[in-house]
Amino acid sequence: MTNKDIANEILKNVGGKENVTANVACMTRLRLGIKDNNQVNVDELKRIDGVLAVVQADTLQVVLGPGKVNKIAEPFAELTGVPLGSEADDETESTENIKEIAKENKQANKAKHDKPLQRGLQHIANVFIPLLPGIIAAGLINGLANVIDYQTGQAFATDWWYMTIKTLGWGLFTFLPIFVGMNAAREFKGSPILGGIGGTLCLGVVVTGSPLSTQAISMPFTHAPYTVGVGGLITALIMGIFFAFLERNIRKIMPSVLDTFFTPLLTVIIGSLIAVVFLQPVGAGLTTAIYTVMDFVYTKLSVFGGFILSSTFLALVSVGLHQALTPIHVLLNDPTGPTHGINYLLPILMMAGGGQVGAGLALYIKSKNKRFKKMVMSSIPVAILGVGEPLMYAVTLPLGRAFVTASIGAGFGGIVASLFHLGAVSQGVSGLFGLLIMQPGQQLSYLLALLVAYLGGFVVTWFFGVDENRINEIYPE
């Protein structure tokens, strides 16, 4: 059906042009003033191709989606002879619209960049995301426990309740390779428990009675000493994926009567031997490479590295490449790792949201488009609290230039975060809520860095990022 055909069908099912007193195009819906509601056939309206929903309120609202509504509203107005309006009635409508358009823009952008790399990174992210609640809790426990121990001289070290809580904080990271192996196997269509068994090879636990405690054991090919726990979380991830692959292929050739017993047995035995000889060295090499790169960017490049990281993060998010950072954040929050559980990368990246807030404020103040201003203002409060998707996908990213200036402005916040050596003890929040996960004593420094990001985004956008013609083109009044 053409847009005019859809407009004709809508008009027919609302009682004809004599029954329409007003037609207003909002962000996603055509809102109609109706003389006699008894003439409206709601069921038939919902069946029209292109109509997403019908809402009966003080006006009849035909939901068509952003962009589509304008293409249908214009021929509809011509058919009724009633001039087309476009102003939303209230702030609630604006808030609802910003969420809808952000969601649809995000889905469209995701489809546009749905490439093998992005899909692969999404699989990796799916392994770690279910673990985040535990990582957040354990990270906060470890951070608070360190402060309490330092301030009190370990006064609670002999209290059972304190040791119980502290044990949970360290316990999660101790056994995290098992959880990573399980989730990796599940994500790649294998049995989670078999992936978890592969993860045990990364725990660094010596079997009771093992000769490792008294003598060296040589590895094949390299004749290097056999050591347990090589590779950490990256190896556990690789093992979970490999065990899933191995299990699926063994099951294809295993007779059904033997499958229950021999498929898991062969998966574990073959998988573990290959993993120890080949996969663990690969995982260890990748882990070392990650730390080396992070150290170079953070230490060697210093404030320049902070600017690069924070100013490019929004671009990574927009195309889904930020998923690659999920396991890196987990590595940095591991108290047994080189950074002792302090994530120096996260506060720098969190400045990206600050740049967007500043850009949004500049757009709001400088633009004359009332409809656009309502959209921006409805998205800024949640962005300040750390939820930046509505502002990015509904405002800055569609405008293009404002997205670039927001990213540049965020870079100045990244410089300050690098100068103050900000570190997070956990993850999962950003914006003002990021104050909760900063190292104790760094809250004011974090707030200053965030304010600099706000200011940077505002100033750069004010001078270079406001294109009123583009705004009016995308968000016509």
Distances (CA, A) of 133 to 80, 137, 237, 267, 434: 55, 6, 18, 30, 15
Angle 209-215-216 from CA coordinates, rounded to 5°: 115
Beta partners for 85?
24
- Residue 310 neighbours by CB under 8 Å, 6+ apart: 348, 349, 351, 352, 355, 410, 411, 413, 414, 415, 417, 453
Single-letter amino acid code for the residue at 138: A
CB-count burial class (<10 Å; 0-12, 13-18, 19+) for 361: buried
Distances (CA, A) of 158 to 149, 153, 155, 427: 12, 12, 8, 29
Please give the sequence-ordered ranges of beta strands (E in DSSP) within 294-391, or none if there are none. none
CA gap 38, 14 in Å, rounded: 9
Which pairs count as long-range contacts for 416-419, CB under 8 Å and 24+ apart, including other chains? 416/306, 416/351, 416/445, 416/448, 416/449, 416/452, 416/453, 417/306, 417/310, 417/347, 417/348, 417/350, 417/351, 417/446, 417/449, 418/298, 418/302, 418/303, 418/305, 418/306, 418/307, 418/348, 419/303, 419/306
Which residues are designated catalytic? 26
End-to-end CA distance of the chain: 26
208: alpha, beta or left? (left if phi > 0; alpha if psi -120 to 50): beta
Structure tokens given for 54? 């019908």
Structure tokens given for 260? 């229950």
Q: How far, rounded to the nearest angstrom, does the alpha carbon of residue 290 sit from its chain's CA centroid?
A: 20
